[in-house]
Amino acid sequence: MVKQTCYLTFALQGKVKGEIGMFFKNVGMIEYEGADSENPYAFKYYNPDEYVGGKTMKEHLRFAVAYWHTFDADGKDPFGDGTMFRAWNRMTHPLDKAKARAEAAFEFFEKLGVPYFCFHDVDIVDEGATLRETFAYLDQMSSFLKEMMETSRVQLLWNTANMFTHPRYVHGAATSCNADVYAYAAAKVKKGLDIAKELGAENYVFWGGREGYETLLNTDMKLELENLASFYRMAVEYAREIGFDGQFLIEPKPKEPTKHQYDFDAATTIAFLETYGLKDHFKLNLEANHATLAGHTFEHELRVAALHDVLGSIDANQGDLLLGWDTDEFPTDLYSAVLAMYEILKAGGFKTGGINFDAKVRRPSFADEDLFHAHIAGMDTYAVGLKVASRLLEDKALDQVIEERYESYTKGIGLEIKEGRTDLKKLAAYALEHDQIENQSGRQERLKATVNRYLLNALREAPAEKETR
Ligand code: XUL
Ligand code: CO
């Protein structure tokens, strides 16, 4: 049984002033009840112990809760104030508030049964008046979280430093024109890596929300990119020095908040890493809504990363075609989840990474319980994605069309091209003899119907028997 009382233990020890007890009193442990269940507080498809292709769902999916959207956010948008008045955010002293928030967070993690969480430094405690004070707060909260983790099974998937909210980052952080800002950001990353080491984080993330430019008219792009590369290099060196062996991840995003961000998409980020000799030290944290902002599907980004062996982790969410900005909605689109899991499984699954819900409940979904409904929906969606993708791969359901499509490269001139045994003169001679070309159908619709059939069958079928390893 998952230990579920650590928050009470801390509260009773007087480590939290103010509210004592459970923050989610009306919600118990979320269990798997199966597809026929009508209980909104139960998983219908995510069965953590169920084996899918040799591993349990829990081992495959490695779900994480995002601290910022779940415990810090209050629903404010550019036009309106917050709508979510969380009991754990009521205290005024930063450390009291931070500890209450951590207690709520661990209660939530344990009731939901997620193995991981993720945070930015500013999520776990507000910044102080000076950097020194901020660091003192962070040290205290890092110890507090460490104690909570010791009495729980929840671990840290990744942490990161927020280098985009405060006005000091107006021109960027590691790409700022102001060297003092660069140094400040470096100090935050140093502290972030100390915390990652202390809490045993499996990864450390860089998301460059302000690393980019608004106009080339005032931008030295070469200097900014070189500075960014040095920044990453120093992070790798410091991690080595302190013995932090987690995986570094870069999270691409094309725009928002900055008009043009340097880590635009997977391909751009990989080219950057190659150019500056950093590729051995970094993998990517790919986010669905960032992919769509870049004009790609999520599966495109995952495939590009997998091809270059840098598929690290994902931020699971979805955008809204009618809105077009980074809406960070909880993933409920089963079809997309199937295609994403298909790419992830094909690439060998997660190693240090996992599925972080970088997703927020909508502003009108302001009740505390909505946080559970949203995560249950997201976890069930990815569980279906996993099952369907695994079955598609097991049955090689899509392979035959691909094999037939590229058959011309398995023999004759095609094989010579593939093996690099030809040149333009030989190809021209061949083309002159074979200029009556015949193409075959690409069979898109048939393939989409196959995916639909697997999806619908998976939803219909009874839960699989427990496999043994
Ligand atoms: C912003 C975003 C970030 C990163 C972490 O769009 O995705 O929350 O995931 O900084
Ligand atoms: Co993200």
pLDDT digits (tens, 9 = 90+) for 330-360: 999 999 999 999 999 999 999 999 999 999 9
> What pLDDT is attached to residue 16?
40
Reported as a single tens digit per residue, the pLDDT across 88-105 is: 999 999 999 999 999 999
Closest CA to 152 of 36, 30, 3, 291: 3
Pairing of strands 247-250, 203-206: parallel
> What pLDDT is attached to residue 65?
99
Asked if pLDDT for residue 1 goes beyond 50, the answer is no
> What distance in Å separates the CA atoms of residue 182 and residue 180, rounded to the nearest whole number?
5
Write the CB contacts of 190 (distance below 8 Å, at least 6 apart in sequence).
Answer: 238
Q: Which pLDDT band, with edges at 50, 70 and 90, does 459 fall under?
A: confident
Instruction: Give yes or no for a contact between 157 and 203, defined as CB atoms under 8 angstroms apart.
Output: yes
Instruction: Give yes or no for a contact between 318 and 288, defined as CB atoms under 8 angstroms apart.
Output: yes
Instruction: Give yes or no for a contact between 343 and 52, defined as CB atoms under 8 angstroms apart.
Output: no
Q: Is 251 in the pocket of ligand 1 (CB under 6 A)?
A: yes
Instruction: Give yes or no for a contact between 176 and 34, defined as CB atoms under 8 angstroms apart.
Output: no
Asked if pLDDT for residue 3 goes beyond 70, the answer is no
Residue nearest to atom 5 of ligand 1 (CA): 207
One of 72, 123, 265, 315 is an active-site residue; which one? 123
Closest CA to 291 of 246, 339, 222, 334: 339
Mutate to test the pocket of ligand 1, among 117, 287, 326, 355 (most ligand atoms within 8 A of CB): 287
Residue nearest to atom 4 of ligand 1 (CA): 207
Asked if pLDDT for residue 20 goes beyond 80, the answer is no
Instruction: Give yes or no for a contact between 102 and 144, defined as CB atoms under 8 angstroms apart.
Output: yes
> What pLDDT is attached to residue 211?
98
Asked if pLDDT for residue 72 goes beyond 80, the answer is yes
Helix (H) or strand (E) holding 112: helix 94-112
Mutate to test the pocket of ligand 1, among 157, 160, 166 (most ligand atoms within 8 A of CB): 160
Identity of the residue numbered 45: Y
Q: Is 134 in the pocket of ligand 1 (CB under 6 A)?
A: no
Residue-averaged pLDDT of the chain: 94
> What pLDDT is attached to residue 320?
95
> What distance in Å separates the CA atoms of residue 101 and residue 93, rounded to the nearest whole number?
12
Is the four-CA dihedral 277, 280, 282, 288 of positive or negative sign? positive
> What pLDDT is attached to residue 461?
72
Averaged pLDDT, 114-124: 98
Q: Which pLDDT band, with edges at 50, 70 and 90, does 464 fall under?
A: low
260 is catalytic: no
Q: Which pLDDT band, with edges at 50, 70 and 90, does 14 fall under?
A: very low
> What distance in Å separates the CA atoms of residue 369 and residue 374, rounded to the nearest whole number?
9
Q: Is 123 in the pocket of ligand 1 (CB under 6 A)?
A: no
> What distance in Å separates the CA atoms of residue 338 and residue 316, rounded to the nearest whole number?
12
How far does residue 57's CA lie from ligand 2's centre (Å)?
23
315 is catalytic: no
> What distance in Å separates the CA atoms of residue 56 and residue 48, rounded to the nearest whole number?
6
Lowest mean pLDDT among 135-139, 165-169, 455-459: 455-459
Q: How far is CA 41 from CA 106, 315, 403, in A?
A: 18, 23, 44
> What distance in Å separates the CA atoms of residue 345 and residue 342, rounded to the nearest whole number?
5
Residue 120 Cα: closest atom of ligand 1? 10
Mutate to test the pocket of ligand 1, among 204, 358, 360 (most ligand atoms within 8 A of CB): 358
Asked if pLDDT for residue 8 goes beyond 50, the answer is no
Q: Which pLDDT band, with edges at 50, 70 and 90, does 419 fall under?
A: very high
DSSP 256-271: SSSSEESS-SHHHHHH
One of 60, 69, 120, 375 is an active-site residue; which one? 120
CB atoms within 10 A of CB 185: 22
**Helix ranges (DSSP H) in 117-178:** 121-124, 131-150
- In angstroms, how far is CA 129 from the centroid of its own chain? 31
Q: How far is CA 282 from CA 72, 298, 313, 356, in A?
A: 28, 20, 11, 18
> What pLDDT is attached to residue 338?
98
Q: Which pLDDT band, with edges at 50, 70 and 90, does 463 fall under?
A: low
Q: Is 0.85 topped by the overall pTM?
A: yes
What's the DSSP call for residue 30?
A: -
Helix (H, G, I), strand (E, B) or coil at 416: helix
How far does residue 408's CA lie from ligand 1's centre (Å)?
44
Reported as a single tens digit per residue, the pLDDT across 365-407 is: 999 999 999 999 999 999 999 999 999 999 999 999 999 999 9
